Amino acid sequence: MTELIWSELDQRAVDTARILAADAVEKVGNGHPGTAISLAPLAYLLYQKVMRHDPADPRWVGRDRFVLSIGHSSLTQYTQLYLAGFGLELDDLKALRTEGSLTPGHPEYGHTAGVEVTTGPLGAGVANAVGFAMAGRRERALLDPNTPLDQPSPFDHHVYCITGDGCMQEGPASEASSLAGTQKLGNLIVIYDDNRISIEGETSIAFTEDVAARYAAYGWHVQHVDWTGGGTSYSENVEALHDAIEAAKAVTDQPSFIKLTTVIGWPLPTKAGDHSVHGAKLGGEEIAGLKSELGFDPAVAFPAEADVLAHTRNNAAARAAAAKAEWTQAYDAWRSANPAQAELFDRLAAGIVPDLSDALPVFAPGKKATRAASGEVLTAIADVMPELWGGSADLAGSNNTTMKGQKSFLPPERSSHEFSGDFSGRVLHFGIREHAMGNILNAINTGLTRAFGGTFLVFADYMRGSVRLAALQKIPTIFVWTHDSIGVGEDGPTHQPIEHVASLRIMPGIDVIRPADANETAQAWALALSHTDRPSALILSRQDLPIIDRDAAGVAPATDVAKGAYTLIDADGELKVVIIATGSEVSVALDARDALQAEGIGTRVVSAPCLEWFNAQPADYRAAVLPDGVAKVSVEAGVSTGWREYVGQTGEIVGIDHFGESASGAVLFAKYGFTAENVVAHAKTAMARLG
């Protein structure tokens, strides 16, 4: 066990972090000082004594990962990034929560060096930490398959997560923690700040469970460090905490949970333990008292003692140099022994996505559900893209998210008669945990590999927070959502998504893709994987859809999916009507075109699998596809919201602005007007309106 050396300068640095947190919130007038003050010893211990990282190279592959699940306490992390020399300076702390600063209200991935993931929505960070731990296991198995698991690898690292009472009450944390126990993620250490305070005051009014017992039941290794002496005293026993962390690191077949019992805001002179310090400035008198208590000048704001900063930054740099030298020796030996894996690593580290064009299946005319086509695409590209892995929230057979011939990602002893595998496996089993799944995927997709996850579209609502975080962080997670409309049929309105596609389209930064057939699905996968700066949503059908004959006269190639919306087949004769459709309704639009053309009405069908991609096209292209002066009709088995922009004020929208019912999909499509006859009628109405 590593010996802890804790000097007077270390303690002075901890106390400096407390005061900086108090001063920063006081200066801006709002924020969350209490937890940052009482957890300063824990954060300092991690950054200065425990974690392997390099402030000069924050994305070093060999680093440990840190997740501040209690993102509102951003100063817990910011003060340590400042002290360790990650690029934050005193002026950045003074600019807390102000426009353009590197210290926003919650830590943001891609914005502040040293921040691994955006946190803030409580519980999400715990699930992110589980994702980082899973990614670590998979990356090691992918890149260093010849090293036994009980031997060190340059791809080993730990994931540390600080969480609190709020996170422990949120569903995503519980979902992910349960899965982590099943996955036996021995590289994950979660430290729970048991301060028994939330915004409404003492947690006893709503939260009384034994959290440690819950984590033991999940299969975690559980320890308790009590700085309150059972509520009788207060002593920041950093050595006991360090010993608990070292003991956790030694456990390799269970994730570790350390319950750290604290008093929020300690050692504030009058407000320690009061919920008022959770999310508000402390006031000048209280801060002056804190400074006096800790031996600082009450009149000096933002103390910056040269010997403290030199100590912390030199220590962090020296630890980084030693860790990096040791790691580099192991890494170089690995490269020499594993040339093929080294070549793969170089591609992954450079963010290069392989060309999938030759691997994509081409589907002959016939019928196939786009969910089934999606599964065939995944199997076909598996060998070309070994970094790709994914699965489903217990719906693999329905979502078609299983790559055929690939093992599952799980401890070997968890294998079932249907799914067997190890940590080299590529099939993920999330259980019925949609929200945790989304956050786990987001963490994975910040690293070297690419992961996708599936469920029914109607359950996208269960995971919307994680989808929003993917878009906010520009993480290329691929969400596979099947059973996309009233075509679900007999399961009824609880399982028939009506508003979901429209609600996803209004979210900034995500591509919502609803392919018309199997070949559009193949192209959609290739395009989604090629985009590394944003998430994608694949919206897929339960029911079989006609596979469009791309060799037929006048039919555009499926590669035009890249344009977002394209002329699938143009008018025969003078253009009078444009029918815009997505997904399963494209075949309805084609049938309507046949009927209109039979009457001599020139009709174009536009397949619009991704409006985000279409909106990004040049204006002249968009105008050519959807020209002025002709009747326009949109057809989509969802709410009409959003389509007026494309059909104009004179156009018609064929949609469904009410919930469905339990009946066969074919019956519901006919009953609710998703038929060629109804589309023709709407086209004629639009034509009449134009005169």
Q: Give the CB-side neighbour count of residue 181, counting CA atoms within 13 A.
A: 15
Contacts of 213 (CB under 8 A, 6+ apart): none
Label the pairing between strands 478-482 and 450-456. Answer: parallel
Task: Please return the burial class of 673, using the count of CB atoms within 10 Å of its CB with bins 0-12, 13-18 and 19+.
Answer: middle
Beta pairing partners, 478: 452, 536
Judge contact between 455 and 399, C-beta under 8 A. yes
Of 448, 427, 450, residue with least CA distance to 341: 448
As a whole number of angstroms, the distance between CA 51 and CA 416 comes to 36
Of 440, 391, 417, residue with least CA distance to 161: 440
Contacts of 298 (CB under 8 A, 6+ apart): 287, 288, 289, 291, 292
As a whole number of angstroms, the distance between CA 450 and CA 430 comes to 16
As a whole number of angstroms, the distance between CA 133 and CA 160 comes to 9
Contacts of 413 (CB under 8 A, 6+ apart): none
Q: Determine the 3-state secondary structure of 260 from DSSP.
A: strand
Beta pairing partners, 51: none
As a whole number of angstroms, the distance between CA 241 and CA 257 comes to 12
Q: Strands of 288-365 (E only): list them.
A: none
Tokens 């003692």 — which residue? 305
As a whole number of angstroms, the distance between CA 381 and CA 360 comes to 7
Q: Which amino acid is at 538?
A: L
SS (H, E, C) 115-155: CCCCCCCCCHHHHHHHHHHHHHHHHHHHHCCCCCCCCCCCC
What is the C-alpha end-to-end distance of the chain, expressed in Å? 85
Of the residues 286, 376, 434, 585, which is catalytic? Answer: 434
Q: Determine the 3-state secondary structure of 347 from DSSP.
A: helix
Tokens 């962080």 — which residue? 473
Judge contact between 432 and 406, C-beta under 8 A. no
As a whole number of angstroms, the distance between CA 143 and CA 136 comes to 11
Q: H-helix or E-strand containing 438?
A: helix 434-444
Active site residue 434: yes
Contacts of 285 (CB under 8 A, 6+ apart): none
Chain centroid to Cα 317, Å, comes to 31
| b/e code 620-645 from CB counts within 10 Å (16+ = b) | eebeebbeeebbbbbbbbbbbebbee
Residue 285 CB coordination number (10 Å): 11
Tokens 């089993």 — which residue? 429
Q: Determine the 3-state secondary structure of 512 from DSSP.
A: strand
Judge contact between 183 and 176, C-beta under 8 A. no
DSSP H helical ranges for 202-299: 211-218, 238-250, 284-293
The first and second tokens of residue 340, run together, are 């093929």
Tokens 């059972």 — which residue? 230
Judge contact between 473 and 509, C-beta under 8 A. no
As a whole number of angstroms, the distance between CA 137 and CA 147 comes to 13
Active-site annotation, residues? 434
